[in-house]
Amino acid sequence: MSGASVTITTPSNGVTTTVQVTYGEVKQVEVDRVAVELRGSVKGDKAVHITSDVEIVVYGVFAELASSDAYLALPTDVLGTEYFTPCASIQRASPAEFGVVGVQDGTTVTIVPSQAVTFDGQNYTAGQAFSVGLNRFETLQVQAMQDLTGSKITATQPVAVLSGNQFAVCMPVGQKQKGSGDYVVEMIPPVDTWGKEFVTVPLTKHTGGDLFRVVAARDNTRVDITNENTKSLHAGEFLEIDVPSDEYRHVTSSEPVLLVQYSKTADADKTDTDPFMMVIPPVAQFEAEYTFSTVDLIQNRTNTTHHINLVMSYGFVRPESYGYPGGLRLARIAALCSTTAPVPADRVDNDCDGRVDEELLNGIDDDGDGLIDEDLATSNCADNRDQYRTCLRDRCRNLVP
């Protein structure tokens, strides 16, 4: 494979950079901070536009001494029109915040904040909806000195949403938010890609546990978590749990939810870590193959450690960190569904069971739903003995040297 030709444009200043990236290579491109940084609770033009002639993986990295984080950038073809935001508890004088990026001209964005906010000089109470018009590459940011988790964002056309805190310590709600903190951010998947089943994995190095938040998008959502009492959430409500560092949890829900993991402050257990926020993919969105990159932390590059858990990638050095999902599908498993003819690896929930491409073409009911070969993954050559030779030849032709 010859690689990719990637173009990065910052519309606010008109600067365009084109780079060639070979297969398996990670190339870093710095953009002007003034051109891309959202500031205040206002409308702006701080988008970053990235195009490529082949599929690529993109990470957004905010690298600052003792306050870094990163996110997995989502491609425009999987963006949606409904979101709920995860943030974190407020520490000191640093706000919770979320941003929205317009992808198409003439988009109307409606925001229902979970806390009182001031936007563009106007005051809005918690639960009071307000609308903002966005054209392509226009942006808005909403900030508040209270936790904005559960704020609802809807749009007339697909938009991108990022959420987090300017500086978070990530201690449980009700505890004093004291200790080393970080900027935390994630790019949020739209509601129609949320799931009903998750597994949690403790972060290495930490001994004082990890925080998780379950955010609901629908009323009367029942949430069941290993070793926790069943909870019922309404749309925009969230459940926070503090899970010991030696425990794994299984999370299921009656309606699609968003699960977010938080690395606590290093002061929670005196470890060489720091806060970050990371979206945990639902089991139904797991992929079979991932390509990902690590992030250089500034505080102490020599002692920085990078780690991979089952569904995530993250790194630590005291007092700095980053974390994001190593990869995930973004099939619309939570959208209204109609059964469709099975096409292998079409990333569509053909049988409307909330899972995607989970069957092999083998005449067996792999997912136990009483149907056979109804939602097909990419089959391997052994799955079809009659075409084994042709399958192998085609596979060899597609091998990357």
> What pLDDT score does 312 carry?
79
Question: What pLDDT does residue 296 have?
Answer: 67
pLDDT given for residue 367 in this prediction: 75
Chain segment 179-219, per-residue pLDDT in tens: 878 889 999 999 999 999 999 999 888 899 999 999 999 99
Q: Which helix (H) or strand (E) holds 323?
A: strand 320-324
Secondary structure (3-state) at 92: coil
Task: Give CA–CA dist 113/142, Å, rounded.
Answer: 9
Separation CA 1–CA 335 (nearest Å): 35
Biggest distance spanned by C-alpha atoms of the chain: 69
Q: Residue 25, CB half-sphere, CA atoms under 13 Å: how many? A: 14
Tens of pLDDT, residues 4-25:
999 999 999 999 999 999 988 8
Mean pLDDT, the chain, whole residue set: 86
Quick check: 216 and 238 in contact, CB under 8 A? yes
Q: What's the confidence (pLDDT) of residue 391?
A: 58
* Tokens read off for 351: 């049988």
Dist CA 205 CA 342 (whole Å): 44
Q: Given this model, what pLDDT does residue 370 score? A: 80
Q: Which residues contact 25 (CB under 8 A, 6 or more apart)?
A: 3
pLDDT at 44: 96
Low-confidence residues of the chain, pLDDT below 50?
A: 382, 392, 395, 397-401
The secondary structure of residue 325, as a DSSP letter, is -
d(CA 67, CA 38): 16
- What's the CA gap between 125 and 127, in Å, rounded? 6
Q: What is the pLDDT of residue 400?
A: 43
**Backbone φ, ψ for residue 70 (5° rounding):** -150, 165
In the DSSP assignment, the letter for residue 334 is T
Structural domain spans, the chain: 4-324, 337-401
